[in-house]
Amino acid sequence: MTIALLFGTLAICLLIGVPIAISLGVAALVAIYFGSTLPLDIIVQKAFTSLDSFPMLAIPFFMLAGILMGKGGVSKRLLNLASAIAGWMTGGLSIVTIIACMFFAAISGSGPATVAAIGTFMIPAMIAKKYDPGFAAAVPAAAGSIGVIIPPSIPFVIYGVIGNVSVGDMFIAGIIPGILIGLSLMMVAYLISKKRNYKPDDETQKFNFKDVLVALNDAKWALLIPVIILGGIYGGIFTPTEAAVVAVVYAIIIGLFVYKELDLKGLYDSFMETIIINATTMIIIGLSVSFAYFMTIEQIPNQIAQFLTELSSNPIVILILINLLLLVVGMFIDTISAIVILTPILLPVVMAVGVDPVHFGVVLVANLAIGFVTPPLGVNLFVASSVGKIKFEKITIAVIPFIITMIICLALITLIPQMSTWLPSLLK
């Protein structure tokens, strides 16, 4: 009865368009009031205590660092570097977009932020070169999802905190899967561009190693950020949270004094934008934890774990079943809420059948990354639609080949755990 109240209320709220954070809180409230003897103020208590966490501080600081980078001239220099690398190819602008998204992902740690930063420049540029508008918007929408896989990644931080898994290991584990997805998306973009005869940005342009070196030199201060973050964490110099603060300080320095494209107004706007985004994120996390806590009290995770392990003890079968579940969940629930709710449920299940928690974390986030481009939620699709002023329906159709590619990559990441675990094991 209690379980039906919990999930029934959640489903009704989502169907009538109630925001996900409020839906989770209302579902927990109804289930506690009608189906248990717990005090109602437990919802507020759990929401606040869940946010009283030092590792969680990494989230607003990584958000701020990404926004500062976008306003401080980083996006432009990363685009110039990507253009020097791939601008001469057939469909060069689409491949440049994907490369630039991968670079920016390694700075921002956010999918929608990556789409906004790169899509603002590249979608109009592709349309001007007679690219199909739907395709032009679908490319950054799909590539932007890599933002939550290539480190630093905000979802990895949340998973690490909730699952008691090393955030540093999660960051390193995301490198190879992120590169795999990026290269695969480039291949698909190239094949589509070749079929539709999308010309390079400059048809006289040839690959010039000197131009790459010049662009690389110009972008060197931006590209140092992930090196500083990962090097500092694994060198024992600072924690992931301290790394996020270092990234903010570094972003301010290069924006104000090196690139000189960030002024005091830009600094103020960056802080205000971060506050607004982070407030929303923290409300979601807090109420998600309250929801997850009630599920734990009601032994729902144990029941689900028991059900899955009774179906099979084969880790591959369990992971495939979980993948199918997560692909559906990602269509309706945002990444942060899904991680907070599902990690306590699914992590014990996979660990019981011998799956490495780092590997599972990458599989979990890779699944939810696909959710960024699958309707009806499809946050990246909405961002691309907004910045490119292109109908949502056109982007939805154009993104299908990229979704299929990402699912194939997900299958490889799932079936080959070494893709996630090899690099972290080398650094231990």
**Residue pLDDT, tens place only, 306-327:** 777 788 889 999 999 999 989 9
What one-character-per-residue DSSP string does 317-335 give? Answer: HHHHHHHHHHHHHHHHS-H
Are the CB atoms for 155 and 112 separated by under 8 Å? no
Are the CB atoms for 46 and 341 separated by under 8 Å? no
The token pair that represents 79 in the structure block? 């685009």
User: What is the rounded CA–CA span in Å between residue 24 and residue 321?
Assistant: 24
If you search the block for the tokens 């964490």, which residue do you land on? Answer: 233
Model confidence pLDDT, tens digit, residues 225-278:
888 888 888 888 988 889 889 989 999 999 999 988 999 999 999 999 889 888
pLDDT at 204: 55
Model confidence pLDDT, tens digit, residues 324-356:
989 988 887 888 888 988 898 899 889 989 999
Model confidence at 301, in pLDDT bands (50, 70, 90)?
Answer: confident
Model confidence pLDDT, tens digit, residues 378-426:
889 988 998 888 988 899 999 999 999 999 999 999 999 999 999 999 8
Mean pLDDT within 61-85? 85
Question: What's the CA angle centered on 214, arms 209 and 216, to 5 degrees?
Answer: 90
Instruction: Return mean pLDDT, the chain.
Output: 88
User: What is the rounded CA–CA span in Å between residue 291 and residue 10?
Assistant: 10
Mean pLDDT within 137-163? 92
Give the list of residues 6+ apart from residue 150 with CB closer than 8 angstroms, or none: 102, 105, 106, 174, 175, 178, 179, 182
Q: How many other CB atoms are there within 10 angstroms of residue 75's CB atom?
A: 24
- Which phi and psi angles does 263 have, rounded to 5°? -110, -175
Give the list of residues 6+ apart from residue 4 with CB closer than 8 angstroms, or none: none
Model confidence at 305, in pLDDT bands (50, 70, 90)?
Answer: confident
pLDDT at 86: 87
pLDDT at 201 over 70: no
pLDDT at 109 over 80: no
pLDDT at 202: 62
pTM across the whole model: 0.87
The token pair that represents 70 in the structure block? 């976008």
pLDDT at 76: 83
Model confidence at 163, in pLDDT bands (50, 70, 90)?
Answer: very high
The token pair that represents 123 in the structure block? 């979608």
pLDDT at 205: 64
pLDDT at 207: 77
pLDDT at 367 over 80: yes
pLDDT at 184 over 90: yes
If you search the block for the tokens 């090097």, which residue do you land on? Answer: 231
Model confidence at 203, in pLDDT bands (50, 70, 90)?
Answer: low
Are the CB atoms for 284 and 336 separated by under 8 Å? yes
pLDDT at 137: 95
User: What is the rounded CA–CA span in Å between residue 395 and residue 391?
Assistant: 7
Model confidence at 362, in pLDDT bands (50, 70, 90)?
Answer: very high
